[in-house]
Structure 1
Amino acid sequence: MGSRRLKRHTGFLFQVAWLRVDTQTILTIANHVITKNHRIGVTHSEHKTWLLHIRDVRENDRGNYMCQINTDPMKSQIGYLEVVVPPDILDYPTSTDMVVREGSNVSLRCEATGSPTPNITWRREDGELIILGNSQEVASIEGRAFNITKVNRLQMGAYLCIASNGVPPTVSKRIMLVVHFTPMIWIQNQLVGAQEGQQMTLECHSEAFPKSINYWTRENVIIANGEKYEPSFSDNVYKVHMKLMIRSVAMSDYGSYKCISKNSLGETDGSIKLYHIPTPTTEPTTTSTMPIPTTVDLVENIQWSRQKPVPSLEPGSNEITDASLSTVVRSEETRSRSRPNQEENHEAENVIDTNSHKSIDDDVGQRRIDNTAQSMSSTSSTWRCVTRSSAVICIIVLSALS
């Protein structure tokens, strides 16, 4: 409700009148309402303050109003009534939901009334940025018209036309932009390997609108959900994530699979090949055991490992001279060469480190042989005989005499 207050000191004989200036219409005189507009009223306070009342103010009540006193000369005062109107979006000139083909040009319009004149702002309902034709992204667009050149699927969605002029409430209208396009499929891994018995999941991604029918095939046969296979599909607007789980891969499962997407505009498919990965086997560790040399080998190697003994100045009857020691060695070499070929091959495989002083166990009764012939000042001979392989081999053991 609007009102206009006018203060005047008047005598009893003077009267106050209210007029509409633009139409020269008399509204009230003194306490009487002249106009037939039932929304107009007048009050006063001790004939000094006169008030014009307008109920249910409308936009057409905007304008200049005059308070007039019938003095001579006449006295008056003019006041302007501003009527503000909240915004309102007009349905007819404003765009409605649109369905367009991908690649076409789109023009969205929004018309609104209000006082003052409303401002128009475009935003996406989901809060995402608006993609323009030049690959720019903005949060909002100002203006009654919103043009898109060569619209694509990323621009599909609900747009809000928002009208505001500072007078609450702000109003908006939702316009749904639908973009149709043929199905597209892309596959991250087109070649997938699996072992027998392994659980494997194949994946495809498709985009299509209108929404597509999606399924998996193998050898042109649609794969249904069962004990062996479990196809699944999850969609978001125009995107579909296709999965095919193979619970336990068998030899018969290797080969090519197809994911297919189909809608009213077309059909496309993608191929994934599942190949066999051999199951790794654990190979037994091979332990090489060095054969124990025969007694003859021991004798021969022991003799070759001895250093040349220091000859005594007065050899006794029991001393072993260089000549006698060489004779024993040569006799053992001759006996060794006279063996069959099998024993020669066996001897070739036996490797004894003659430079290390290792213990000779098992066949020689865990006896240690000390190769320190250089330190002996006198020696005596002792015969030890060992029976092996039906042959009697005698080993000369040199013992130091005190």
Structure 2
Amino acid sequence: MSKLSARAPRRRRQSTCCRRPMLYSMAKARFDVKLGSTVLVFLLLNSASPKLLENPKFSQPIPNSTVAVGREAILACVVENLGSYKVAWLRVDTQTILTIHNHVVTKNHRIGVTHSELKTWYLHIREVRESDKGWYMCQINTDPMKSQICYLDVVVSPDILDFPTSADIVVDEGADVSLRCVARGSPEPSILWKREDGQLIPSRMKMEAVSASGPTLNISKIKREHMGPYLCIASNGVPPSVSKRIMVIVQFPPSVWIRYQLVGAYDDQQITLECHSEAYPKSINYWTRDKGDIIPHSAKYVPEIIDSGYTVHMKLTINHLGEQDYGIYKCISKNSLGDTDGTINIYRISNSTLKNSSVYFKSKGPRKEANDVTYQIGSTEKDRADLLFLEDEFYSCAHQLGVSQMLTILWLRVLLYCITFV
């Protein structure tokens, strides 16, 4: 029993000594865990501290921008204290992310992004289209997120639409005409009408002006002098302005005007008959004799036609006038709408003295022979007969004519004067 009792305390001492290292190791393990946790938290705090300290903000609003179609739009977003945060650009109306930091996210090849020292972030939109118009957002990925927006306005130069705009027209004289011009653009274009030749534009109010405004130009009872090209000009402040040329053709049957319908001449004289015609479509013009025979071009007869728009000046020169050349001549004008003619009567002056004598003018300058003097009797605006008579010629002839011949001429002059005022 004594041996057993003596051994029992020893066993207790050994178990106590064995427990101490175990408690030490456990305590050390607990300290290591605490130390590791402290280091981890410290590291986490150290890693998170920059973002906790950073406070990015926008230093100024993004200005709205206006760009013409086809140009490049550049939107600028200015950020302070960005740190490790990211900047993104978005399209607001479609909720599309365009760029994130230095990367372009959208598949639109016209979109680009650049920055200046991580402070100013630029969104580039090349070859701007009208569909690019709208709101854009610059965003910083803070919590909560920070953002600001701007508006991109795309302006479009005018374009005249061919289909709804009037084309060249042909109308009868006296008809009412309405010309229309339709244009698109942004902002909406305004329309101005002008005549290409600079002439005045008529209106339904019986007033004329250099120009007229509005999409429609109305002309009441159009006349032949209103014929010609008209310009429809569209502008909206975005260059360039555009115009369309509209040709207005007024058609009418021929009309003839003759200044001298009665011409007095003598043998072997050269005379020129004149006739004025107006017609559209373009007329066929020629001269005929009493029996309707067309006068061809020859050494004796030289017809000449001078065109100017819808007017025609017809001339017929007769060389070495002979007995067979006296009589009725007609200038004839024809087109698809009708025909008309004018008559000129050449009568013979049978005075041999007037034919063979040398007659001189008393006018200033060198003396000029007047053997080719032609007395012409024509119609005025009121279709009254009138005598073209030169006073100098009359007095110079008086020196070489007999008294009876002078009385005849005076009597003829008085008679024609009376006919004029009957």
CA distance, structure 2, for counterparts of residue 272 and residue 119 of structure 1: 55
Corresponding residue number in structure 1 for 2:31: none
Q: 1:49 aligns with which of 100, 109, 120?
A: 120
1-side partners of 2:205 and 2:331: how far apart?
A: 34
User: Is 1:126–2:126 an aligned residue pair?
Assistant: no
Which secondary structure does the structure 1 equivalent of 2:122 belong to? strand
Aligned residue among 166, 171, 177 for 2:242: 171
When residues 13 and 283 of structure 1 are mapped into structure 2, their CA distance, relative to the original with a 3 A threshold, is closer
Instruction: Please state if 1:63 is matched with 2:126.
Output: no
Pick the aligned partner of 2:317 from 245, 265, 268. Answer: 245
- Please state how far the C-alpha of 1:241 moved relative to its aligned partner: 0.4
Distance of 1:283 and 1:175 partners within structure 2:
64
> Using a 3 Å threshold, how does the CA distance of structure 1 residues 29 and 250 change in structure 2: closer, same or farther?
same
- Check 1:168–1:207 CA distance in 2 against 1; reply closer, same or farther (3 A cut): same
Partner Cα separation in structure 2 for residue 170 and residue 280 of structure 1: 73
Q: What is aligned with 1:24?
A: 95
Matched residue pairs, number? 285
Matched residue type, 1:113:
R
Q: Which amino acid aligns with 1:42?
A: V
| 2:343 matches 1:274 | no
Mapping of residues 224-373 of structure 1, within 5 Å: 224-279=296-351, 281=353, 282=400
Query: C-alpha separation between the residues in 1 aligned to 2:207 and 2:348?
Result: 47
Q: Which amino acid aligns with 2:350?
A: P
1:17–1:27 contact (8 Å) kept in structure 2: yes
Contact 1:17–1:67 (Cα < 8 Å) also in 2: yes
In structure 2, what residue type is equivalent to 1:226? S
* Structure 1 counterpart of 2:227: 156
Offset, 1:280: 5.9
CA contact (8 A) 1:164 1:170 kept: yes
Equivalent-residue separation in structure 1 for 2:242 and 2:278 (angstroms) = 34
* 2: CA distance, partners of 1:265 / 1:213: 12
Amino acid aligned to 2:185: G
TM-score of the superposed pair, with normalisation by structure 1 = 0.68
Superposed displacement of residue 133, structure 1: 4.0
Residues 123 and 139, structure 1, Cα contact 8 Å, conserved in 2? yes
**Contact kept in structure 2, 1:204 and 1:270, CA below 8 Å:** yes
* Offset from partner CA, 1:41-83 (integer Å, 9 cap, x none): 1111222111101011111111111111122333222111111
Q: Which residue of 2 aligns with 1:192?
A: 263
Inter-partner Cα distance in structure 1 for 2:258 and 2:181:
41
Query: How big is the shift at 1:98?
Result: 0.7
User: Structure 1, residues 224-256: CA drift from partner, whole Å, max 9, x if none?
Assistant: 111221111011111000111111222222211
In structure 2, the partner of 1:104 is 175
Tell me which residue corresponds to 1:77.
148
Q: Distance in 1 between the 2:154 and 2:277 partners?
A: 56
Partners in 2 of 1:91 and 1:36 — Cα distance?
35
When residues 182 and 4 of structure 1 are mapped into structure 2, their CA distance, relative to the original with a 3 A threshold, is same
CA distance in 1, matches of 2:402, 2:231: 72
* Kept after mapping to 2: 8 A contact 1:196/1:279: no
* Structure 2: segments with no counterpart, 5+ residues: 1-71, 354-399, 404-422
Q: Look at both structures and tell me which one has the larger radius of gyration over its CA atoms.
A: 1
Alpha-carbon spacing, 1:245–1:133, altered in 2? closer, same or farther (3 Å): farther
| CA apart distance, 1:211 | 0.3
| Aligned-pair CA distance for 1:134 | 4.3
% identical equivalent positions: 63
Counterpart secondary structure, 1:36? coil
* Partner AA of 1:273 in structure 2: N
Asked if structure 2 preserves the Cα contact closer than 8 Å seen for 1:86 and 1:115, the reply is yes
Mapped to 1, the partners of 2:225 and 2:345 lie a distance apart of: 31
Summarize the alignment of residues 2-17 of structure 1 with structure 2, pairs less than 5 Å apart: 2-17=73-88
1:37 aligns with 2:138: no
Residue identity matched to 2:317: M
Q: 1: distance between equivalents of 2:266 and 2:276?
A: 25
How far did residue 13 of structure 1 move? Answer: 3.0
Q: 1:93 deviation in Å?
A: 0.8
Q: CA deviation at 1:189?
A: 1.2
Task: Please tell me the residue identity of whatever aligns with 1:34.
Answer: V
Letter matched to residue 274 of structure 1:
I
Q: Does residue 214 of structure 1 match 2:248?
A: no
Alpha-carbon distance between aligned partners in 1 of 2:279 and 2:205, rounded to the nearest angstrom: 24
CA distance in 2, matches of 1:239, 1:134: 28
Residue 239 of structure 2 aligns with an amino acid whose one-letter code is: P
Q: Report if aligned partners of 1:89, 1:111 keep a CA contact under 8 Å in 2.
A: yes
CA distance in 2, matches of 1:67, 1:203: 83
Query: In 2, distance between residues paired with 1:76 and 1:10?
Result: 15
Q: CA deviation at 1:129?
A: 1.7
Note if contact 1:10-1:47 (Cα within 8 Å) is conserved in structure 2. Answer: no
- After superposition, the CA RMSD in angstroms is 1.7
Please tell me whether the aligned partners of residues 82 and 119 of structure 2 are also in contact (alpha carbons under 8 angstroms).
no
SS at match of 1:260: strand
CA displacement at 1:10 relative to structure 2: 3.4
Superposed CA deviations along residues 83-138 of structure 1, whole A, max 9, x for unmatched, are 11111111111111111111222111111111111111111111222233444221
Instruction: Return the alpha-carbon distance in structure 1 between the equivalents of residues 100 and 333 of structure 2.
Output: 81
- For 1:49 and 1:214, locate their aligned partners in 2 and report how far apart those are by CA, in whole Å: 80
Task: Assess, with a 3 A threshold, how the Cα gap between structure 1 residues 194 and 6 changes in structure 2: closer, same or farther.
Answer: same
Q: State the SS of the aligned residue for 2:225.
A: helix
Read off the aligned partner of 1:188 and give its amino acid letter.
R
What is the rounded CA distance, in whole Å, between the counterparts of 1:194 and 1:168 in structure 2?
66
